[in-house]
């Protein structure tokens, strides 16, 4: 019998099978986006409403009624927010021409400004930044959110089935896989706790940031203030880069329509708001950050952004948490989970 070809101790047929499986999974993620994306959102919504639903269930003893009330509340908030968001985008787009004129005037003022004999070269700035480009970015972002909101019915249907299955699935798994039930229960419990902590914490922090951004921009009469606050809320779910990117457009708008000192104050307030929530409030709410390598998170978020666009970037971290917990549950894949971990030295 001939020797099997091996690569650093791993059978080549295992590597081949793994590569084929990964390729099939990527194709499924891309081509089944219409089904998988609403399913993932429904799972996250379930974890978001689960704590208050359990409280209502303990208080009133009607689990389906508790979940039903909370589900209808979440769906109503989504539709009302989408309607206001569209109105805010329309208002901003209607002022785009006037803002373009103001932008040209401000660029002319900046090009004539000299400080200690030095002047500003504004040619690169005008090529990089235009009001039309900002409007296109905002329209594309809101369009992506609106397109996903159109699948809210699918999310709602998935959510109903997840709520029903949550009551009966554990008993069926115990009957079908009695030997594996301890491992499955541990994975489900850890995944539920981790995702619930992440979703609730991120939603709280993102909402807090968005409320302050909305109040500040509305106070300063920045066009499209609700749209920029909504973008702040959503991009805060994109780790490391989302929150800083979210306040760039309103800062540019403030520099166009406000005095430089006021615009700098708005920039400072938005930056302080993001740092305060991200560096101080969020760690206190979450207890500790997710035990994942920052580069691993960025790579996974980039992958989901490539596959599913903006919504993929928002959903990337919860999906990474689920993947890491699943890898940790099996001794054969635990080394991969250790490589994804931030504190690998504590893993056994």
Q: What is the pLDDT of residues 50-105, one digit of tens each?
A: 777 777 777 766 766 777 777 777 778 777 877 788 888 888 878 777 877 777 77
Confidence check: pLDDT of 297 > 60: yes
Return d(Cα 158, Cα 161) in angstroms, integer: 5
Do residues 214 and 222 make contact, with C-beta atoms less than 8 angstroms apart?
A: no
Do residues 47 and 135 make contact, with C-beta atoms less than 8 angstroms apart?
A: no
| CA 102 remoteness from chain centre | 34
Virtual torsion, Cα 141, 147, 148, 150, nearest 10 deg: 150
Return d(Cα 52, Cα 117) in angstroms, integer: 63
Return d(Cα 309, Cα 224) in angstroms, integer: 23
Cα-Cα-Cα-Cα dihedral sign, residues 58, 60, 63, 69: negative
**DSSP letter (8 states) at residue 224:** T
Q: What is the mean pLDDT of residues 171-194?
A: 70
Virtual torsion, Cα 146, 74, 239, 262, nearest 10 deg: 70
Q: Tell me which residue has tokens 């917990």.
A: 325
Confidence check: pLDDT of 27 > 80: yes
Q: Kindly report the pTM of this predicted structure.
A: 0.73
Of 323, 226, 210, 228, which Cα lies nearest the Cα of 273?
Answer: 210
Q: Tell me which residue has tokens 């499924």.
A: 28
Q: What is the phi-psi region of residue 121: left when phi exceeds 0, alpha when psi lies from -120 to 50, beta otherwise? A: beta
Res 148: pLDDT: 62
Report long-range pairs for 209-212 (Cβ below 8 Å, ≥24 apart).
209/233, 209/236, 209/243, 209/273, 209/274, 209/277, 210/236, 212/273
Average pLDDT across the chain, whole number: 76
The CA-CA-CA angle for residues 132, 136, 137, to 5°, reads: 120
């Amino acid at each position: 019998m001939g020797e099997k070809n091996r690569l650093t101790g791993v059978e080549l047929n295992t590597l081949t099978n793994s590569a084929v499986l990964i390729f099939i999974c990527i194709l499924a993620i891309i081509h089944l986006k219409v089904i998988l994306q609403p399913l993932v959102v429904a799972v996250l919504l379930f974890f978001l409403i689960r704590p208050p639903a359990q409280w209502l269930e303990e208080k009133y003893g009607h689990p389906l009624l508790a979940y039903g009330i909370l589900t209808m509340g979440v769906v109503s908030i989504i539709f009302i927010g989408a309607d206001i968001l569209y109105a805010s985008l329309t208002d901003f787009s209607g002022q785009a021409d006037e803002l373009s004129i103001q932008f040209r005037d401000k660029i002319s003022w900046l090009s004539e400004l000299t400080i200690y004999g030095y002047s500003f070269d504004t040619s690169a700035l005008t090529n990089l930044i235009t009001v039309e480009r900002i409007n296109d970015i905002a329209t594309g972002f809101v369009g992506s959110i609106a397109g996903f909101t159109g699948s809210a019915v699918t999310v709602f249907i998935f959510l109903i089935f997840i709520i029903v299955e949550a009551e009966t699935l554990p008993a069926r798994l115990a009957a079908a896989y009695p030997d594996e039930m301890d491992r499955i229960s541990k994975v489900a419990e850890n995944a539920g706790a981790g995702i619930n902590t992440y979703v609730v914490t991120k939603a709280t922090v993102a909402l807090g940031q968005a409320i302050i951004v909305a109040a500040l921009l509305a106070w300063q009469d920045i066009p499209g203030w609700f749209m920029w606050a909504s973008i702040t809320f959503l991009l805060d779910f994109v780790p490391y880069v989302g929150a800083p990117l979210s306040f760039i457009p309103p800062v540019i708008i403030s520099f166009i329509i406000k005095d430089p000192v006021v615009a700098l104050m708005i920039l400072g307030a938005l930056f302080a708001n993001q740092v305060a929530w991200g560096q101080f409030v969020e760690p206190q709410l979450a207890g500790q950050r997710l035990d994942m390598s920052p580069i691993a998170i960025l790579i996974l978020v980039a992958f989901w952004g490539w596959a599913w666009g903006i919504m993929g970037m928002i959903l990337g971290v919860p999906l990474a948490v689920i993947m890491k917990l699943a890898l940790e549950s099996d001794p054969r894949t635990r080394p991969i989970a250790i490589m994804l971990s931030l504190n690998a030295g504590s893993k056994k």
